[in-house]
């Protein structure tokens, strides 16, 4: 039996961290979960190791061993580049040892968490994020732009104009801070809004054509194409699996 739980980050980290999360399995068979793209990069503690994950452009299966626990911090879109000290595009679609990315600072942190126990991991990871961002400022333009994407009517062309920057510059700064361009993030965030309404789709309370229009898709076929691209499943099949 698997358990997934999200917790609020420390108030001081709210602008940088979307949530703390925990996944635990207590049965003998382990558990495999489909991890869907969300525009975020995660710092993860599992099996005595610190990892960095994402951002993803497609679904990834995540397996937890029997009796195992994984926990992590989910960074808000646009924060990863500053925390990692490198373009977030360098970890696109990947899973890497955190010490390979940021060096000895992560290796020392893993040693401390290993000695103190899992319960300190959230606090230690948040302290790492805070210290890294103090030395490397987040890109305020990308953070502001990210908050405008994923909604009906959002257009990258208009966004660049509103922010007083060229589309080329916007793409470059997004790849450094987020990991991919604003059009991809717009697609991913709109898709996540669909995922949040999956229970209503599975129960029959939501009609897919009407929902597609509400979320800003051109039509139901547009929703289906994006859902297949990002999850490998049709909207109906994803909704069924997501609430199973």
pLDDT class of 28 with cuts at 50, 70, 90? low
Same domain, residue pair 6 and 125? yes
Handedness of CA 127, 95, 17, 118 (dihedral sign): negative
Same domain, 43 and 15: yes
Same domain, 217 and 154: yes
Whether 6 contacts 72, CB under 8 Å? no
Q: Which domain-ending residue is among 108, 135, 162?
A: 135
* Residue in 170, 152, 12, 159 with CA at minimum distance from that of residue 78: 170
Clarify whether residues 30 and 121 are in a common domain: yes
Please compute, for residue 219, the number of CA atoms within 13 A of its CA located in the half-sphere on the CB side: 1
> Do 127 and 21 lie in a common domain?
yes
Domain boundary among 100, 135, 170: 135
86 shares its domain with 100 = yes
Answer whether the bond into residue 76 is a cis peptide, omega within 30°: no
Q: Are residues 155 and 217 in the same domain?
A: yes
Same-domain status, 182 and 225: yes
Find tokens 């909207």 and name the residue: 235
pLDDT digits (tens, 9 = 90+) for 51-106: 999 999 999 887 767 777 889 999 999 999 999 999 999 999 999 999 999 998 89
Hey, is 102 helix, strand or coil?
A: helix
> Over the stretch 98-119, which tens digit does the pLDDT of each residue have?
999 999 889 899 988 888 877 7
Name the DSSP letter for residue 8.
P
Domain that holds residue 212: 140-242
My answer on whether 110 and 157 are in the same domain is no
Query: Which domain-ending residue is among 100, 119, 135?
Result: 135
CATH for 223? 1.10.10.60
Selected residue with higher pLDDT from 158 and 95: 95
**What span, in angstroms and rounded, lies between the C-alpha atoms of 63 and 70?**
10
The answer on 229 and 159 residing in a single domain is: yes
Q: Domain total for the chain?
A: 2
Q: Are residues 146 and 217 in the same domain?
A: yes
Is there a contact between 69 and 2 (Cβ–Cβ < 8 Å)? no
What's the pLDDT score for residue 155?
Answer: 84
CA distance 221 to 228: 11
Both 92 and 149 in one domain: the answer is: no
């Amino acid at each position: 039996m698997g358990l997934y739980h999200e917790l609020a980050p420390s108030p001081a980290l709210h602008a940088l961290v979307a949530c703390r999360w925990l996944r635990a399995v207590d049965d003998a068979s382990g558990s495999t979960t489909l991890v869907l793209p969300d525009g975020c990069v995660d710092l993860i503690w599992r099996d005595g190791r610190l990892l960095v994950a994402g951002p993803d452009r497609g679904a990834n299966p995540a397996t937890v061993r029997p009796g195992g626990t994984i926990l992590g911090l989910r960074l808000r879109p646009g924060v990863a580049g500053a925390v990692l000290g490198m373009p977030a595009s360098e970890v696109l679609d990947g899973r890497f040892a955190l010490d390979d990315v940021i060096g000895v600072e992560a290796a020392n942190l893993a040693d401390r968490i290993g000695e103190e126990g899992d319960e300190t991991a959230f606090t230690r990871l948040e302290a790492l994020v805070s210290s890294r961002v103090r030395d490397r400022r987040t890109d305020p333009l990308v953070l502001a732009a990210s908050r405008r994407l994923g909604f009906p009517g959002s257009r990258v062309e208009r966004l660049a104009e509103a922010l007083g920057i060229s589309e080329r510059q916007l793409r470059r700064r997004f790849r450094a801070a987020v990991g991919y361009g604003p059009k991809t993030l717009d697609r991913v965030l709109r898709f996540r809004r669909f995922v949040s309404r999956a229970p209503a789709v599975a129960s029959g309370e939501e009609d897919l054509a009407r929902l597609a229009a509400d979320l800003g898709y051109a039509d139901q076929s547009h929703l289906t194409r994006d859902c297949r691209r990002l999850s490998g499943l049709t909207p109906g099949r994803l909704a069924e699996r997501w609430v199973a």
